[in-house]
């Protein structure tokens, strides 16, 4: 089933070429209306890089978030074709709004080669059908939010997420940093390999920073912490079919200095490791209002 929000996301990632190495992506949409979702900018930047690469797929990307994105205007993506080698291609992408950089991304692309195979096993967890849908969890607690925030909280989103053992939004208990969720986007069915990478890059920013909040009994809804993604790294290991369920196995081995370090491994439902993710995020204590 292709929802309106899923169609919108596919359209957002079909960026417009303005000139050689210059592209324009539409803001808005995604996970929030107050600023551009970080995964949105990463995915569009990766697509801009892909528009300058032939016959090889991304194996890694590294990005820094520099300023919040403004959802009311487009984002300009300027690609630097850094290197075209025999086996590897490198691209650098700068995302610009209001004349200033909001994200820098470097990505590397690799020809297909054979090698030795090894991976960590997927954790044993109940399947996605055992857990409630994200919109069901939000609908059940929407009346605990001020009325002006409810439409954004409840609106349709493109990625289907099923958290394993979801926590209370407003009064969570301290918990292990280790956590998992299932996610997919049914509308990804039939999309090409490049779009599959961009969709997974978009989704990889979901719930990742939240891992570092868990040991402290924090969520975004309490008004106790200011959060923002500072950087994002991702490695693609195997072909992606994001229409199918994937398990996101998350942890946060360290927090301190108003920052938290978060990691994620992404598996297919049959246990194949297809991607790894790392991100450091801001988690600055907020002073209580008096």
How many angstroms separate the CA atoms of 50 and 240, rounded? 16
Please indicate, yes or no, if residue 290 is contained in any of the structural domains.
no
Residues taking part in catalysis? 205, 229, 279
User: What is the full DSSP assignment across 37-71?
Assistant: -HHHHHHHHHHHHHTT--S-EEEEEEEEE-S---T
* The two structure tokens encoding residue 238: 């195997």
What does pTM read for this prediction? Answer: 0.96
Read off the pLDDT of residues 36-74 as tens digits, 9 standing for 90 and up.
Answer: 999 999 999 999 999 999 999 999 999 999 999 999 999
On the CB side of 249, CA atoms within 13 Å amount to 18
- Let me know if residue 12 belongs to a domain: yes
Cβ partners under 8 Å of residue 101, min gap 6: 66, 67, 94, 95
User: What is the spatial distance between Cα 150 and Cα 138, in angstroms, rounded to a whole number?
Assistant: 9
- 233 within some domain: yes
Contacts of 32 (CB under 8 A, 6+ apart): 71, 152
Beta bridge partners of 109: 58, 89
| E strand spans, 179-272 | 179-184, 225-229, 231-236, 246-256, 259-268
Question: Are 257 and 278 contacting, i.e. CB atoms less than 8 angstroms apart?
Answer: no
The answer to whether position 28 is within a domain reads: yes
Alpha helical stretches, state H, the chain:
4-13, 38-50, 134-141, 150-154, 193-203
Quick check: is 84 in a domain?
A: yes
Helices (H), 130-281: 134-141, 150-154, 193-203
pLDDT of 29 higher than 80: no
Number of domains comprising the chain: 1
Query: In the structure, what pLDDT confidence band is assigned to residue 27 with cuts at 50, 70 and 90?
Result: confident
Domain that holds residue 29: 4-111+128-285
| Average pLDDT of the residues in 212-230 | 94
Percent above pLDDT 70 for the chain: 98
- Nearest Cα to Cα of residue 141 among 165, 176, 170: 170
H/E stretch holding 214: none
Is residue 120 in some structural domain? no
Looking up residue 70, the CATH number of its domain turns out to be 2.40.160.210
Q: Does 25 map to a domain? A: yes
Q: Are 71 and 91 in contact (CB under 8 A)?
A: no
Question: What per-residue confidence (pLDDT) applies to 136?
Answer: 93
pLDDT one-digit tens code per residue, 142-194: 998 888 888 888 888 999 999 999 999 999 999 999 999 999 999 999 999 99
Distance CA 191, CA 275 (A): 18
Beta strands in 48-173 (DSSP E): 57-65, 75-84, 88-97, 100-110, 160-163
């Amino acid at each position: 089933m292709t929802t309106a929000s899923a169609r919108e996301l596919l359209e957002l990632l079909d960026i417009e070429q303005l000139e050689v190495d210059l592209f324009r992506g539409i803001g808005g949409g995604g996970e929030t209306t107050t600023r551009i979702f970080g995964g949105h900018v990463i995915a569009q930047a990766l697509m801009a890089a892909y528009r300058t690469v032939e016959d090889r797929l991304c194996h890694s990307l590294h990005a820094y978030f520099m300023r919040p994105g403004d959802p009311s205007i487009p984002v300009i993506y300027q690609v630097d074709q850094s290197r075209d080698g025999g086996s590897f291609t490198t691209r650098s992408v700068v995302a610009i709004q209001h004349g200033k950089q909001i994200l820098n991304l470097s990505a590397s692309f690799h020809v297909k080669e054979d090698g030795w195979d090894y991976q960590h096993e997927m954790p044993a967890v109940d399947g996605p059908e055992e857990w409630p849908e994200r919109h069901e969890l939000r609908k059940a607690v929407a009346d605990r939010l001020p009325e002006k925030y409810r439409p954004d909280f409840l609106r349709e989103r493109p990625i289907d997420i099923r958290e394993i053992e979801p926590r209370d939004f407003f009064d969570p208990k301290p918990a292990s940093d280790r956590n998992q969720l299932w996610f997919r986007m049914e509308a990804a069915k039939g999309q090409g390999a490049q779009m599959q990478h961009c969709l997974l890059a978009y989704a990889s920013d979901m719930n990742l920073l939240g891992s570092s909040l868990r040991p402290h009994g924090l969520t975004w809804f309490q008004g106790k912490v200011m959060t923002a993604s500072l950087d994002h790294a991702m490695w693609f290991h195997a072909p992606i079919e994001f229409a199918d369920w994937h398990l996101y196995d998350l942890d946060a081995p360290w927090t301190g200095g108003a920052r938290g370090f978060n990691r994620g491994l992404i598996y297919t439902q049959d246990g194949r490791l297809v991607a790894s993710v790392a991100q450091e995020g801001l988690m600055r204590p907020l002073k209580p209002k008096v």
